[in-house]
Chains A and B, each alone.
Chain A
C-alpha cells in the first residue's frame, strides 16, 4: 500500500469516527438545541475529510473536482439549514425565536433573556 493510500484510509477512518461520535452526541444530548450542535460535524466536517481523502487518493482529477463541487453546496447550505432548524424549534417551543417574547400557548418554559438558559437555569443549564 502506498503512502497516499494509507493517508486516504486514515482520513476515511477519521471521518467515520467523527460520524460515530456525532451520532453518539445526538443520542445522549438532552434536547433539540443541544443535539443540533452535533449536526455540523456530521454534515460538514466529515464530508470535508472524505473530500480530502478523495483528493489524497486521486489528486486534482475529474473525480476530486466533482467531489469538491458537491462539497461546496454542502458547505454553503449546511449552516443555513442548521439555522433554519433551530429557529423553527425555538418558534415551536416559544412562539417566537426572539428572547423576551411571551411563550406560545402550551409552552411551559419561561421566555429567554440575555444569556438565557434554554432550560431555565439562570444563564446556563446544567
Chain B
C-alpha cells in the first residue's frame, strides 16, 4: 500500500511539474486546478499500471539504441517516400509484408516487460517498420515493413 501511495505521489509530482511548465502561471487558482488534474491523472495512471500488472524496470544499456534511432528514422523516411514516389509515378506497389525477426521473449518480471516494451517501441519508431509483438512460443518479433528489408535482426 505504501509503495502504491509512493508511486501515486511520484506521478503527481511529475504531472504537476508538467502543469506548471505548460500552464506558465503560479496563480493560486491555476495551481489548484493543476493539483486536482494531476491528482486525477496520477490516480488513473496508477490504476492502469495496477490493472496491467506493469512495472517499469530499466537497464541503462537498453537506452543505448536510442542513439541509432534518428539515423534510422532519416533512412526509413527516404525509403517510405521513395515507395510513395514510385507508387505515384509508375503505379508500383511497395513490396510490403510481415517479417519474423529473432527476439528473445524473456521472463515476466518487471525488467522483462520493460525490455519488450522498449523493443517494440524502438521497432515501431522509424516509418518503414511497425512491430506487432513478440511471440512467446517462437521467440520472434513480428513486424510489418512497407519496403521489406531481408537482412536485419530484431536484436
Contacts and interface: CB of A to CB of B under 8 A. Distances in A.
Q: Size class of A's contact patch?
A: 35 or more
B50 interface: no
Interface in A13-54: 21, 24-25, 28-30, 33-34, 36-38, 40-41, 44-45
Contacts of B93: 30, 125-126
A24 B88 contact: yes
B21 A86 contact: no
Contacts of A40: 73, 76, 125-127
Interface in A105-126: 112, 114-119, 123-126
Contact of A45 (B73, B84, B96, B135): B73
Contacts of B88: 24, 28
B72 to A, nearest CB: 11
A27 B131 CA distance: 22
A37 B24 contact: no
B87 A41 contact: no
A114 B100 contact: yes
Contacts of A112: 98, 142
Q: Summarize B's interface: helix, strand, loop or mixed.
A: mixed
A80 interface: yes
B98 A99 contact: yes
A115 B80 contact: no
Q: Which 6 A-B pairs have the closest CB atoms?
A: A126-B93, A40-B127, A79-B124, A37-B146, A124-B95, A83-B124
28 contacts: A21-B84, A24-B88, A25-B81, A28-B84, A29-B84, A33-B144, A34-B94, A36-B130, A38-B84, A41-B77, A44-B125, A65-B21, A66-B22, A79-B120, A79-B124, A80-B117, A80-B120, A82-B124, A86-B130, A87-B133, A99-B98, A99-B135, A115-B148, A115-B150, A117-B98, A118-B144, A123-B97, A126-B94
Interface of B: 18, 21-22, 24, 73, 76-77, 80-81, 84, 87-88, 92-100, 117, 120-122, 124-128, 130-133, 135, 142, 144, 146, 148, 150
Interface of A: 21, 24-25, 28-30, 33-34, 36-38, 40-41, 44-45, 62, 65-66, 69-70, 76, 78-80, 82-83, 86-87, 90, 97-99, 112, 114-119, 123-126
